[in-house]
Amino acid sequence: MNDKCNGVKMPERTVPFPTSISPEARAALHRAVGEDGIPLNARHVMPDTSDFNGWMKLKAFADIYYQSAAERLAGQVRATAETVQIGEACVHIATPSGAFSEDHAYIDLHGGALVMGGGIACRVGAQSHADQHGIRCYGIDYRMPPEHPYPAALDDCITVYRHLLTQYRPENIIIGGRSAGGNLAAAMTLRARDEGLPLPAALVLLSPELDLTESGDSFQVNRLVDVVLPGSLMPNNLLYAKGVDLAHPYLSPLFGDFSKGFPPTFLQSGTRDLFLSNAVRMHRLLRRAEIPVELHIFEAMPHGGFMGAPEDRELSEEVTRFVKQRLRPDLSRE
């Protein structure tokens, strides 16, 4: 019998905020922890998966936060938005102000741990992407648990993608998502491929939640070090899956078969992101499958970014460049 410890025993210590990042980024990290050094978000405890009312209360509380943040951003966006119903999916269609290409489209899938982040936050997010890329953006306000567990959200994404394929050439469509939205962007692409649909031009996966089994190294190494997402989202994952195997590729795209084809992909994470392993492992999988892929890891960045620091602007510029290259190669040299 081997008595050796199956891991590295860590002494109690404080992980300092590094001086290797911008002052704005350091300030963002400071704001996210209490005087005791514990991330403020670590105080939130997810309900039991059977507690329907508890989840509804949590969603209502989160909606207030998301709405407040979206309203602050709403004054900065220029794109207009209309909301339509496509099948069971609610879709916010954002149109840039001024002249823009009618031939290209961006599908945006919002984050929110698979249970939050819809409504006004989804709409303003679509407007922001329309502004950023100068093309029409479709923000899918997908259905979420506890009312609508898997596969409702994925069904909505596929329904909208099928619809857009009647209006746009697949090579003129980009699909992007942050966090839970990154999960859905990758999952819907795998499912679309499996159902015989043409692949989009590319994917943009920002701090993507690609592994609902949470098997990666960073789920342990970055626990509490990530001040935005300090701990496991397993209650959310189980609520979303509702009994389906979490390792299924449509739930955890990291376990998909990429040898059958996948679009060029932009991956982003940070050294303090709980989901860092998701991006790192996905990068290696796509490289092995000879899929064009970019991996951008930002110093000390937690899940979702620094909320306005120079590093966030640099990331936005990288995404803009990637989207332009994939949609309009003739313009990428401008």
pTM for the predicted model, two decimal places:
0.95
pLDDT recorded at residue 74: 75
Position 24 in a domain: no
pLDDT recorded at residue 329: 59
Position 217 in a domain: yes
In degrees to the nearest 10, what's the CA dihedral of 215, 301, 295, 278?
Answer: 10
Position 41 in a domain: no
Q: For the chain, list residues with pLDDT below 70.
A: 1-3, 329-334
Distance CA 160, CA 142 (A): 10
Q: Measuring CA to CA, how many Å separate 28 from each of 24, 305, 307?
A: 6, 9, 7
Q: Which domain holds residue 97?
A: 48-327
3-class secondary structure per residue, 146-159: CCCCCCHHHHHHHH
Position 244 in a domain: yes
Residue found under tokens 């997810």: 46
Distance CA 213, CA 210 (A): 9
Please return the burial class of 124, using the count of CB atoms within 10 Å of its CB with bins 0-12, 13-18 and 19+: buried
Closest CA to 242 of 157, 158, 145: 145
What is the 8-class DSSP label of residue 4? S
Position 219 in a domain: yes
Position 294 in a domain: yes
* 121 close to 67: Cβ distance less than 8 angstroms: yes
Domain count of the fold of the chain? 1
Position 14 in a domain: no
Distance CA 30, CA 210 (A): 28
What's the number of CA atoms in the CB half-sphere (13 Å) around residue 290? Answer: 2
Position 305 in a domain: yes
Supply the CATH number for residue 274's domain. 3.40.50.1820
Distance CA 210, CA 252 (A): 5
